[in-house]
């Protein structure tokens, strides 16, 4: 069973003399590359490192370091199927023992974070070491609203960032991910997102979560919430659909991480009115589409929300969980076109964001609220399972 323990809280494993570690780096400016290499070589001997990068790197500056030139990856803001496939192939060619994949702007990671990620797969029994970032309160909101609660409730994993872009992989984990990536590549979807936590859970591999501290998170080139939400959520929904046989069984979560990491409350001055306007506009226009997906109870809840004033705007966690589950079922059943479906989810997501900001502005720890949301997803999982199995018979 996968576990999600912080390596940082455990005694640091001794650094291996010849780690045989393949480090796959996303394209980055030369000064950032130098910083990452400096961080890596501060803990690992250069002779034991293989650095695969598409950027030009002079061997003279880093004596002993094995530089493997690769083609530029597609990782503009996250890791894709092509990256995972490339990582496994390079690891096989150069007989690496483990892989460290670092996404764009990884120079903002501390050297200890790189060490812990690598050690988690080199020195301990973990197959997947995944980063847990310390982000500002209003960052990574798609992750907090959808990715984390869904992953936690369905795959029984407390990994806080299922789509983390800095990973440590054992060879067998890399092989499994490469097999999934190969299928995506076969469908000409080299930019497809993979879900390592879900794969590890299905394969019963050990997952280890590593606190890596703050990180500069790369943003998609096209900073369009419509496109991001549709691609990320659609990819997760599709992965959940594939793994339905796994998550429908009862799973038990590992113990929670207490206390909550300290996170400053969101700035009370954050303007949520544009998001509320977007939600209200959608409520007046998209009811016909929502009514195809959502049951009457949920629509009633949305109606109440639509007339709530900005300061009192709170979306109940159970309502949000039910909305996401109903959209997931509609995605599976193709109740409406999937592009339309994910487009219709955006105003609801914005309503959740507005509610989250209001809650955190009132003094609640953002992490506590996100944990409460995830707990609501867990509590409502039987509803999802029932509707998944009998979509026509069980429709409240």
Partner 1 sequence: MQNFLATMLQDLPSQNPQPVYADNTSIWHHMSQALHQSLDRVLSLLIAILPGILAFFVALGIFTLIGMVISALLRRGLSWARFDDYLARTRGTTDWTPTSSPSALIARGSFWACVVLGLIIGVSAFDASYATAATLPISLLPYLTHAVGAIFLLIAGNLIARFLARSVLIGAVNAQLQYARFLSMGVKWLVLVLTAAMVLDHLEVGGVVVELAFGILFGGIVLTLALAIGLGSRDLVSRSLESHVERSNEHGIPPHSAAPANVSEAIRHF
Contact positions toward partner 1, by CB under 8 A? 77, 136, 138-143, 180, 183-184, 186-187, 217, 219-229, 232, 238, 241-242, 266-267, 270-272, 274-275, 277-278, 281-282, 284-286, 289, 332-334, 336-337, 339-340, 343-344, 346-347, 350, 353, 357, 391
Helix (H, G, I), strand (E, B) or coil at 49: strand
Q: Which of 36, 275 has the CB closer to partner 1? A: 275
**Residue 215: closest CA among 165, 265, 143, 145:** 165
How many CB atoms sit inside 10 A of residue 111's CB?
Answer: 15
* Lookup: tokens for 148: 């984390």
Q: Which of 19, 140 has the CB closer to partner 1? A: 140
CB of 119 to partner 1, least distance (A): 28
Do the beta carbons of residue 381 and residue 305 sit within 8 Å? no
CB of 176 to partner 1, least distance (A): 12
Distance from CA of residue 207 to its chain's centroid? 14
Residues in the chain, total: 396
CB of 156 to partner 1, least distance (A): 21
CB of 138 to partner 1, least distance (A): 5
CB of 184 to partner 1, least distance (A): 7
Q: Which of 72, 242 has the CB closer to partner 1? A: 242
Task: Determine whether 102 is exposed, middle or buried from the number of CB atoms within 10 Å of its CB (0-12, 13-18, 19+).
Answer: buried
Dihedral of the alpha carbons of 199, 215, 152, 75, in degrees to the nearest 10: -30
Q: Which of 66, 332 has the CB closer to partner 1? A: 332
Q: Which of 48, 140 has the CB closer to partner 1? A: 140
CB of 309 to partner 1, least distance (A): 18
Q: Which of 8, 108 has the CB closer to partner 1? A: 108
**Residue 372: closest CA among 356, 357, 361:** 356
CB of 261 to partner 1, least distance (A): 18
Q: Which of 23, 276 has the CB closer to partner 1? A: 276
In sequence order, which ranges of the chain are alpha helices (DSSP H)?
30-41, 81-93, 111-122, 141-142, 148-155, 171-186, 196-202, 225-242, 244-247, 273-285, 287-293, 296-306, 317-333, 338-361, 366-379, 381-389
Helix (H, G, I), strand (E, B) or coil at 12: coil
CB of 361 to partner 1, least distance (A): 11
Do the beta carbons of residue 109 and residue 39 sit within 8 Å? yes
Q: Which of 64, 390 has the CB closer to partner 1? A: 390
């Amino acid at each position: 069973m996968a576990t999600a323990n912080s390596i940082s809280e455990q005694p640091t494993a001794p650094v291996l003399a010849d780690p045989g570690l393949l480090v796959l780096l996303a394209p980055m400016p030369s000064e950032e590359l130098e910083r990452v290499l400096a961080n890596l070589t501060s803990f690992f001997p250069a002779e034991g490192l293989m650095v695969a990068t598409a950027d030009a790197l002079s061997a003279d500056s880093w004596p002993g370091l094995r530089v493997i030139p690769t083609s530029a990856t597609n990782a503009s803001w996250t890791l894709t199927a092509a990256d995972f496939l490339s990582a496994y192939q390079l690891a096989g060619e150069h007989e690496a023992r483990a892989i460290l994949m670092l996404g764009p702007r990884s120079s903002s990671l501390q050297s200890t974070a790189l060490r812990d990620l690598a050690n988690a797969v080199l020195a301990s029994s973990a197959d997947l070491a995944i980063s847990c970032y310390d982000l500002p309160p209003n960052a990574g909101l798609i992750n907090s609203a959808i990715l984390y609660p869904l992953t936690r409730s369905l795959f029984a994993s407390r990994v806080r960032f299922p789509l983390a872009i800095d990973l440590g992989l054992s060879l067998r984990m890399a092989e499994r991910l490469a097999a999934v990536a190969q299928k995506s590549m076969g469908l000409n979807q080299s930019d497809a997102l993979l879900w390592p936590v879900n794969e590890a859970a299905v394969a019963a591999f050990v997952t280890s979560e590593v606190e890596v501290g703050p990180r500069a998170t790369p943003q998609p080139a096209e900073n369009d919430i419509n496109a991001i939400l549709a691609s990320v959520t659609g990819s997760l929904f599709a992965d959940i659909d594939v793994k339905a046989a796994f998550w429908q069984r009862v799973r038990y979560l590992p113990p929670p991480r207490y206390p909550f990491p300290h996170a400053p409350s969101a700035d009370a001055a954050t303007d949520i009115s544009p998001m509320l306007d977007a939600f209200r506009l959608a409520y007046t226009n998209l009811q016909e589409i929502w009514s195809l997906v959502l049951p009457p109870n949920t629509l009633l809840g949305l109606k109440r929300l639509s007339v709530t004033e900005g300061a009192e705007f709170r979306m109940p966690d159970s309502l949000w969980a039910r909305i996401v589950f109903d959209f997931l079922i509609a995605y599976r059943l193709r109740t409406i076109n999937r592009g339309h479906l994910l487009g219709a989810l955006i105003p609801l997501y914005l309503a959740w964001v507005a509610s989250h900001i209001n809650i955190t502005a009132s003094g609640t720890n953002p992490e506590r609220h996100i944990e409460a949301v995830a707990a609501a997803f867990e509590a409502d999982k039987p509803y999802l399972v029932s509707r998944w199995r009998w979509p026509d018979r069980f429709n409240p």
